[in-house]
Every structure is written in structure tokens, then in C-alpha cells.
């Protein structure tokens, strides 16, 4: 499972890009692709995931490069990243964080969901384990 340090690092690294990421997530919703856009974040130098569409790469303050791809809950379910029996729980957590952007942090073959407040919001929240 991604470490707390990686989660904190991702939050810090994406902060300058929150406007772009918010616009991408909003486009997924406005174009009626899904009500549940998710950004998959992983270290580009370690792997290349074939889920969703590439959005950007972000250099971290620790010399790593995050690759960000946008996907949807529906794709994650079809690829069995999210189990069908966890979908209702995921949707509930997602609805409880309307001012946030959802991330799936993927490192060392393991994943964890988290939420980062959109630009202008005061705090960050992490989703419960799904």
C-alpha cells in the first residue's frame, strides 16, 4: 500500500496543478462520461499504467515524477480495481467530498484512494479504505 509519505508528497506536488485537474474532472462530469472521475497517480519512472487517459506529468520536490491519468469509477470496476461490492461505499465517500478531487495512488503494485481539496479549499481529506 502506498505510504503516508507518498500520499503527503502527492498532495504537495499536485497543489500547483489543481485548477487544471479540476477542469479535467469537471469535463468528465459535464460531458456525461461519469459522475465519478478519478486521477490515477503513479511514479512514471517505475511503471506505465494503461488505465484511463494521460493528463500530465508532475515533477515532485523529491526528484520523482508523478504520471497522472484520468479514469472513471466505471472503468476501475470493469478492470476489477474496485470490487463491485465496494461501489456503493465508494460512491458514498465520493459524494461526501464534493469540493475534492479523487486520486488513486498506485505504487509498488498496490493502490489507495485519497481526496485532495480543489483550489481555494482549506483542508485535505483521505478516503477510507475501499
9-13, 46-50, 73-77: which is most confident:
73-77
* Interatomic CA distance for residues 2 and 105, integer angstroms: 7
Rounded to an integer, what distance in angstroms lies between the CA atom of residue 57 and that of residue 87? 28
pLDDT tens for 62-91 read 888 999 999 999 999 999 999 999 999 999
State the pTM of this model.
Answer: 0.87
75, 51 Cβ separation under 8 angstroms:
yes
Looking at residue 127, its pLDDT comes to 45
Amino acid at each position: 500500500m502506498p505510504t503516508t509519505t507518498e500520499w503527503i508528497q502527492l498532495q504537495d506536488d499536485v497543489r500547483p496543478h489543481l485548477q487544471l485537474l479540476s477542469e479535467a474532472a469537471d469535463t468528465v462530469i459535464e460531458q456525461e462520461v461519469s459522475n465519478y472521475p478519478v486521477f490515477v497517480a503513479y511514479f512514471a519512472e517505475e511503471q506505465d499504467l494503461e488505465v484511463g487517459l494521460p493528463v500530465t506529468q508532475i515533477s515532485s520536490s523529491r526528484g520523482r515524477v508523478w504520471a497522472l491519468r484520468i479514469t472513471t469509477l466505471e472503468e476501475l470496476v470493469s478492470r476489477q480495481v474496485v470490487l463491485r461490492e465496494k461501489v456503493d461505499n465508494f460512491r458514498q465517500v465520493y459524494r461526501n467530498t464534493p469540493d475534492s478531487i479523487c486520486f488513486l495512488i498506485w505504487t509498488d503494485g498496490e493502490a489507495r484512494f485519497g481526496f485532495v481539496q480543489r483550489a481555494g479549499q482549506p483542508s485535505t481529506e483521505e478516503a477510507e479504505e475501499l
